[in-house]
Amino acid sequence: MTPIQDHPLRYALANELHARPFPVAQMPCTVVFLAIKKPEQAVGRDRSEDIAHLTDLLDRHGAPHPQPGATHYAGQIGRHWLKWEQHTEFVTFTAITNNVSERAFNPADFEVFPPDWLMSSPGQRVTSVLMRVVPCPDDDQISASLTDWFEPESLAVSRVLDNAATCASDFRIDPAGHMRFAMFVSEGTGERRIGRIIQRLCEVETYKAMSMLGFARVKSLTERISELDQKLTELMIEMTDDANRPDDQLPQLLAISTELETLSARNAFRFGATGAYEAIVNQRIEVLREERFLGRQSFADFMMRRYDPAIRTVKSTERRLQTLSDRAIRAGDLLRTRVDVERSAQNQALLESMDRRADLALRLQHTVEGLSVVAISYYAVSLASYLLYPLTAAGISKGMLTAAVTLPVVLLVWGAIRKIRSRLE
- Whether residue 104 contacts residue 181, with contact meaning beta carbons closer than 8 Å, is answered with no
pLDDT attached to residue 4: 85
Q: What is the mean pLDDT of residues 307-311?
A: 95
> Per-residue pLDDT tens for 105-127?
999 999 999 999 999 999 999 99
User: Model pTM?
Assistant: 0.79
Task: For 142-176, write each residue's pLDDT tens digit.
Answer: 999 999 999 999 999 999 999 999 999 999 999 99
CA neighbours within 13 Å on the CB side: how many for 210?
30
Q: Is 68 helix (H, G, I), strand (E, B) or coil?
A: coil
Q: What is the mean pLDDT of residues 399-423?
A: 70
Question: Which SS3 state, helix, strand or coil, does residue 176 take?
Answer: coil
- Which range (136-150, 289-303, 366-380) has the least confidence? 366-380
Residue 2 has pLDDT above 60, yes or no: no
Cα–Cα distance for residue pair 152/146, rounded to 1 Å:
8
Per-residue pLDDT, 352: 81
Distance, CA of 13 to chain centre: 30
Which pLDDT score, from 0 to 100, does residue 225 have? 93
Query: How confident is residue 130, by pLDDT bands cut at 50, 70 and 90?
Result: very high
Taking the C-alpha atoms of residue 155 and residue 334, their distance in angstroms, rounded to an integer, is 54
Confidence grade of residue 360 (pLDDT, cut at 50, 70, 90): confident
Question: Of 58-72, 137-151, 317-331, which has the strongest mean pLDDT?
Answer: 137-151
| Residue 105: strand, helix, or coil | coil
The answer to whether the CB of 217 falls within 8 A of the CB of 313 is no
Q: Is 280 exposed, middle or buried (0-12, 13-18, 19+ CB in 10 A)?
A: middle
Higher pLDDT, 37 or 340: 37
The residues, ordered by sequence, that sit 6+ positions from 372 with a Cβ below 8 Å of its Cβ are 417
* Distance, CA of 254 to CA of 114 (rounded, Å): 53
Question: For residue 3, what is the DSSP state?
Answer: P
- For Cα atoms 223, 227, 230, give the angle at the middle one, nearest 5 degrees: 140
CB 125 within 8 A of CB 35: yes
Instruction: Report the mean per-residue pLDDT for the chain.
Output: 87
Q: Are 165 and 194 in contact (CB under 8 A)?
A: yes
* Phi then psi dihedrals of residue 62, to 5 deg: 65, 30
Contact 200, 286 (CB under 8 A): no
Helix runs in 124-169, H state only: 139-149
Rounded-to-integer distance, Cα 370 and Cα 417, Å? 10
Tell me, what DSSP letter sits at residue 365?
Answer: H
Pick from 135, 141, 142, 121: nearest CA to 38? 121
Walk me through the domains of the chain, giving residue ranges and CATH numbers.
20-195 (no CATH), 212-349 (1.20.58), 365-424 (no CATH)
Q: Within 13 Å of residue 321, how many CA atoms lie on the same side as its CB?
A: 24
Rounded to whole angstroms, the Cα distance separating 386 from 257 reads 84
Q: Is 62 within 8 Å of 82 (Cβ atoms)?
A: no
